[in-house]
């Protein structure tokens, strides 16, 4: 019996060894591309263009900053203010229904993008608080609800919540890192509709900041791609994908013109 057990043990080891194969993944190195992060905002003096460069996949260094490019949006020059940021002369404020054309000249190459600043959906500022007992994924506290209205059938909106008591968490702009996009294509427009902010629970005297940004279809798809990549990682999810870009000329990144509003809410039950 012992001889049989030893034989089976040796066979199993040989079988497992035969099924083991070392796979080497060839990760392409960086091609040193320009990376653009640009926003035109209706909030005064909040518009900027940030320019950096890609780095190797295995590098632990920070992305190199680009401070010697020429940047223009429509007829306004954006001047370098350091750390890769380019800003227009103050005062500057984005205007709804205006199309903004970004032009960048850097090291003999030209890059461009375009975005139309869509008006924001209508937000009813009469916010509602409802108390909930502790639930499976949410603690005891007050949830927040509001009503919103699409003005037409082609509106897109980015929404973020959770700036609880103005405290940031690990550099993120939301304590829940929660991003929601609204799409009027599959919704009613011309009437107010309710929205309950998911997972947010507040206590008496807490303050929360709600952020709303209008966006065009390109920005809408970009934000959804960010959300999809953030949620990937389960055994049943697809692998992470490259984010879309609306920058021509071979650069990576994104440029968006947005109507922006934020509301600071204090819980006074």
Helix ranges (H only) for the chain are: 2-18, 217-231
Are the beta carbons of 181 and 189 closer than 8 angstroms? no
- pLDDT for 72 equals 98
pLDDT higher than threshold 70 for residue 145: yes
Cis amide prior to 227 (ω within 30 degrees): no
Residue 78 lies in a domain: yes
- 144 located within any domain: yes
Check if the beta carbon of residue 264 is closer than 8 Å to that of residue 206.
Answer: no
And the tokens for 225? 């791609």
* pLDDT recorded at residue 83: 95
Burial of 183 (0-12, 13-18, 19+ CB in 10 A): middle
Residue 22 counted as domain residue:
no
Q: Which domain holds residue 204?
A: 28-269
- Position 210 scores a pLDDT of 81
Any domain includes 13? no
Assess if residue 8 is contained within a domain: no
pLDDT > 50? residue 176: no
Percent of the chain at pLDDT > 90 equals 34
256 vs 50: CA distance, rounded Å: 12
Structure tokens of 157? 């909106």
Q: What is the pTM of this model?
A: 0.74
Between β-strands 122-123 and 156-160, what pairing exists: parallel, antiparallel or unpaired?
unpaired
Residue carrying structure tokens 């919103």: 148
CA distance 112 to 68: 17
- Residue 58 maps to a domain: yes
Residue 268 domain-assigned (yes or no) = yes
Strand, coil or helix: what is 157?
Answer: strand
Q: According to the model, what pLDDT value does residue 160 have?
A: 72
Q: Does residue 126 sit within a domain?
A: yes
Kindly list the distances between the CA atom of residue 77 and the CA atoms of 70, 87, 107, 196, in Å, as whole numbers in the listed order.
Answer: 8, 8, 18, 42
Of the spans 51-60, 87-96, 198-207, 212-221, which averages the highest pLDDT? 87-96
Question: Domain tally for the chain?
Answer: 1
């Amino acid at each position: 019996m012992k001889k049989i057990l030893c034989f089976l043990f040796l066979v199993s080891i040989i079988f497992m060894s035969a099924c083991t194969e070392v796979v080497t993944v060839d990760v392409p190195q960086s091609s040193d591309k320009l990376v653009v992060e640009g926003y035109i905002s209706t909030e005064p003096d909040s518009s900027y263009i940030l320019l950096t460069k890609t780095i190797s996949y295995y590098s632990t260094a920070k992305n190199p900053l680009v401070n010697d490019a020429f940047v223009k949006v429509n007829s306004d020059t954006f001047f370098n203010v350091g750390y890769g940021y380019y800003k227009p002369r103050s005062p500057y404020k984005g205007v709804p229904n205006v199309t903004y054309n970004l032009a960048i000249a850097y090291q003999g190459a030209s890059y461009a993008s375009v975005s139309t600043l869509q008006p924001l959906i209508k937000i009813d500022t009469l916010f509602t608080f409802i108390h909930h007992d502790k639930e499976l994924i949410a603690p005891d506290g007050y949830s927040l609800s509001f009503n919103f209205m699409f003005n037409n059938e082609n509106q897109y909106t980015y929404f973020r919540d959770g700036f609880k008591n103005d405290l940031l968490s690990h550099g993120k702009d939301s304590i829940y890192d929660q991003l929601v996009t609204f799409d009027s294509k599959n919704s009613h427009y011309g009437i107010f509709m309710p929205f309950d902010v998911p997972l947010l629970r507040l206590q008496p005297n807490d303050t929360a900041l709600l952020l709303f940004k209008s966006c065009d279809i390109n920005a809408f798809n970009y934000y959804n791609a960010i959300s999809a990549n953030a949620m990937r990682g389960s055994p049943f999810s697809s692998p992470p994908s490259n984010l879309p870009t609306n920058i021509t000329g071979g650069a990576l990144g994104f440029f968006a013109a947005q109507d922006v509003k934020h509301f600071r809410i204090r819980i006074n039950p």
